[in-house]
């Protein structure tokens, strides 16, 4: 077992990090693990101050200084270097079109981090053709998730504003990444909590076998039943033979977004519950099954330390509900909320072990699944003290596709900074799911949610009929 590397103490990878390696097994393109984003502000920035703020943010964030290395048996480890001294590039896109600038950033997002002992992120200072200035950030998913990306970008902004403006306080310290991974690794070694979590998920899996619901209905499942000669088959392949992917974004305006958020507040539920309800009802409508499973991501950032430690903490589990058509919309949502809360309590369990146990219980052919899609809701926004001090200055965030995904369809819902609306980011395999299918899904998802919040006592069946 490796103890040190280049004089630094090494640590094994956590389950959340190994989960990403699990996806690598299914993709010939190593950039499948890249996440790229930009944050730009409608103000001229002092590039030297911005550069210093980025170095300071590196200093404050252990996770941004992580390196990966392998031992002679091919086992991966990680360590944190003391200082980041690499060049922070500056790219001025003035004179180019927005499309050309975005094309360049998409190309950056498609360059994987394939070597050992190298930085697992890249920061570029950018000026875009519309005069906005800021940073582009690329990171490997084994190192960061969307929440830690946002946390790091916010830190840069707050450090910059602290230098430039008198009344902006110095941002509070980031939490230690090493402490968090030590905590996770201790849990993985075995403890009462781990045993409880395992019992919870095993019991959940043992209830009965789920059933696949297709985006267009049951055609795919029927086809596979026919092919396999098994009329009772409940799983289907929903990916294509190519991992080539794209992101299609649908914008929900500020006013309807506010209606959704007000409903959530009034009935004490999260937007995740409402989205899950909308999606599962869509699949229920299309397939005629009361039994629907969707992969749901859990951030595992309940404490302030977890929120501010960076790293990747997301675990993703199938979220299955069996809701009859005569249940009211609001009752069904409360059931989803209670089930979600239960899962949150046990979410430290290893997702790879979850899928391994399920496959053992219900053997399926390679590539077969019960879940047509995955969902992540990202509640965090950048709107914090730094940006507020800039007054009404506009800022924008943008996510860039790395061009590859091992899943047929992955929806990330995020708040849009410029008008408080919602962005529905559908990352999908281009050969598995078309733009047209997504338009249809998005249209009905909105119809279901808005019908439900207008009259929460309608039954699920009535809503399906009305839309």
Q: How high is the pLDDT of residue 436?
A: 97
Closest CA to 237 of 362, 434, 369, 374: 369
Looking up tokens 């900074």, which residue turns up?
A: 417
Length of the chain: 467
Q: How high is the pLDDT of residue 383?
A: 54
Is the pTM for the entire model greater than 0.85? yes
| Cα–Cα distance measured from residue 225 to residue 233, given in angstroms and rounded to the nearest whole number | 6
Q: Quickly list DSSP for 332-379.
A: HHHHHHHHHHHHHHTTTS-HHHHHHHHHHHS---TTEES-S-EEEEE-
| Cα–Cα distance measured from residue 320 to residue 289, given in angstroms and rounded to the nearest whole number | 12
Write out the E strands in 179-244: 236-237
Q: Cα dihedral sign for 334, 335, 341, 347?
A: negative
Closest CA to 297 of 376, 371, 356: 376
The series of mean pLDDT values per 10 residues for the chain, 467 residues long, is 92 92 74 91 94 97 96 94 94 97 96 94 97 96 90 92 89 94 94 97 98 97 96 96 93 97 97 98 98 96 90 95 98 98 96 96 95 90 56 79 91 86 95 97 98 98 96
Q: Which two tokens stand for residue 406?
A: 């091992």
Looking up tokens 């899943």, which residue turns up?
A: 407
Q: 121 CB contacts (<8 Å, ≥6 apart)?
A: 64, 137, 138, 139, 140, 143, 144
Q: Which two tokens stand for residue 331?
A: 């009752």
Q: Which residues on neighbouring strands pair with residue 123, listed in sequence order?
A: 137
Q: How high is the pLDDT of residue 380?
A: 59
| Cα–Cα distance measured from residue 268 to residue 391, given in angstroms and rounded to the nearest whole number | 31
The C-alpha angle 268, 270, 273, rounded to 5 degrees, equals 110
| Cα–Cα distance measured from residue 7 to residue 306, given in angstroms and rounded to the nearest whole number | 27
8 A C-beta contact, residue 163 and residue 47: no
8 A C-beta contact, residue 453 and residue 441: no
Q: How high is the pLDDT of residue 419?
A: 79
Q: How high is the pLDDT of residue 267?
A: 98
Q: What would the pLDDT profile of 13-56 be if each residue is shown by its tens digit?
A: 999 999 887 777 777 788 888 999 999 999 899 999 999 999 99
Closest CA to 235 of 113, 370, 130, 132: 370
Count the neighbouring beta carbons within 10 Å of the beta carbon of residue 90: 12
Q: What are phi and psi of 461, to 5 degrees?
A: -60, -40
Q: How high is the pLDDT of residue 385?
A: 47
Task: Please give the domain boundaries of the chain with CATH numbers for all domains.
Answer: 4-181 (3.30.559.10), 208-384+401-466 (3.30.559.30)
Q: How high is the pLDDT of residue 105?
A: 97
């Amino acid at each position: 077992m490796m103890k040190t590397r280049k004089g630094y103490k090494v640590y094994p990878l956590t389950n959340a990090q190994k989960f990403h390696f699990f996806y690598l097994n299914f993709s010939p393109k190593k950039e499948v693990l890249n996440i790229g984003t930009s944050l730009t502000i409608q103000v001229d920035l002092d590039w030297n101050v911005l550069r210093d703020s980025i170095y300071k943010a590196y200093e404050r964030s252990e996770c941004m200084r992580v390196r990966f290395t392998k031992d002679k048996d091919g086992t991966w480890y990680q360590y944190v270097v003391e200082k980041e001294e690499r060049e922070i590039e500056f790219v001025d896109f003035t004179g180019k079109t927005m499309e050309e600038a975005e094309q360049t950033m998409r190309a950056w997002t498609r360059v994987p981090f394939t070597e050992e002992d190298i930085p697992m992120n890249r920061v570029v200072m950018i000026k875009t053709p519309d005069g906005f200035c800021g940073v582009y950030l690329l990171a490997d998913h084994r190192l960061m998730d969307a929440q830690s990306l946002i946390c790091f970008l916010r830190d840069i902004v707050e450090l910059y504003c602290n230098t430039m403006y008198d009344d902006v306080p110095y941002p509070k310290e980031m939490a230690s990444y090493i402490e968090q991974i030590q905590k996770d690794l201790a849990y993985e070694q075995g403890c009462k909590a781990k045993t409880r979590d395992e019992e919870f998920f095993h019991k959940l899996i043992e209830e009965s076998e789920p059933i696949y619901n297709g985006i267009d209905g049951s055609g795919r499942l029927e086809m596979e039943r026919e092919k396999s000669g098994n009329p009772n088959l409940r799983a289907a392949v929903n990916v294509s033979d190519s991992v080539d992917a794209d992101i299609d974004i649908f914008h929900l305006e500020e006013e309807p977004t506010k209606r959704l958020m007000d409903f959530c507040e009034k009935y004490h539920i999260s937007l995740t519950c409402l989205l899950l309800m909308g999606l599962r009802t869509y699949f229920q409508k299309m397939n005629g099954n009361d039994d629907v499973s969707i992969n749901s991501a859990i951030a595992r950032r309940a404490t302030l330390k977890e929120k501010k430690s960076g790293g990747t903490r997301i675990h993703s589990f199938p979220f299955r509900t069996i809701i009859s058509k005569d249940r009211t919309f609001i009752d069904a949502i409360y059931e989803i909320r209670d089930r979600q809360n239960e899962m949150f309590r046990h979410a430290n369990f290893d997702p790879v072990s979850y899928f391994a146990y399920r496959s053992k219980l219900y053997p399926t052919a390679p590539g077969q699944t019960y879940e047509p899609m995955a969902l992540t809701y990202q509640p965090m926004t950048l709107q914090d003290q730094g940006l507020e001090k800039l007054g009404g200055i506009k800022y924008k965030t943008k996510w860039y596709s790395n061009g590859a995904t091992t899943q047929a369809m992955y929806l990330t819902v995020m708040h849009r900074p410029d008008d408080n609306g919602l962005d529905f980011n559908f990352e999908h395999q281009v050969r598995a799911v078309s733009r047209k299918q997504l338009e249809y899904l998005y249209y009905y998802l909105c119809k279901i949610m808005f019908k439900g919040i207008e009259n929460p006592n309608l039954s699920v069946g009535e809503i399906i009929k009305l839309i």
